[in-house]
Amino acid sequence: MKRVITYGTFDLLHYGHINLLKRAKEYGDYLIVALSTDEFNWDEKRKKCYFTYEQRKKLLEAVRYVDLVIPEKNWEQKILDVKKYHVDTFVMGNDWEGKFDFLKDLCEVVYLPRTPEISSTQIKEELKKKGK
């Protein structure tokens, strides 16, 4: 079985996220999504989420391409996750290009193009404009 892992916040789940998950799953048989916890998002990324970790986890678990959702609690856990889950391919959006090349000794590292016309940041900005 070929295992793939990706990481992210996946707040305000949208079709760009679905495109990423679908393309990631094409690299293997089993897709693991490491989902940033609320604490990690706030303490390390200074990012406030619209949905809680548990809500985002339920949304991801409902996506047919996702086989397992695990918590991402810190930046350093990637090496441990790749080893623990016997990951063959690590996938991220190309906005992270080169940032995870240190994993190439452990698995294949792939950076996929983002869906250009959509992002959670864009959605949040639109909601702010509308006063929501």
The 10s digit of each residue's pLDDT in 18-59 is: 999 999 999 999 999 999 999 998 988 777 888 999 999 999
Evaluate if residue 127 carries a pLDDT over 70.
no
- Catalytic residue, chosen from 2, 22, 25, 47, is 47
Task: Report how far apart, in Å, the C-alpha atoms of 41 and of each of 32, 71, 87 are.
Answer: 19, 11, 24
Residue 47 bears catalytic tag = yes
Evaluate if residue 128 carries a pLDDT over 70.
no
Q: Measure the CA angle with vertex 91, ends 79 and 49; round to 5°.
A: 85
Residue 45 bears catalytic tag = yes
Evaluate if residue 132 carries a pLDDT over 90.
no
**Neighbour count for residue 9 (Cβ, 10 Å):** 20
Residue 80's nearest CA partner among 25, 34, 31 is 34
pTM: 0.88
Average pLDDT, the chain: 91
Evaluate if residue 104 carries a pLDDT over 80.
yes
Mean pLDDT, residues 97-106 taken together: 97
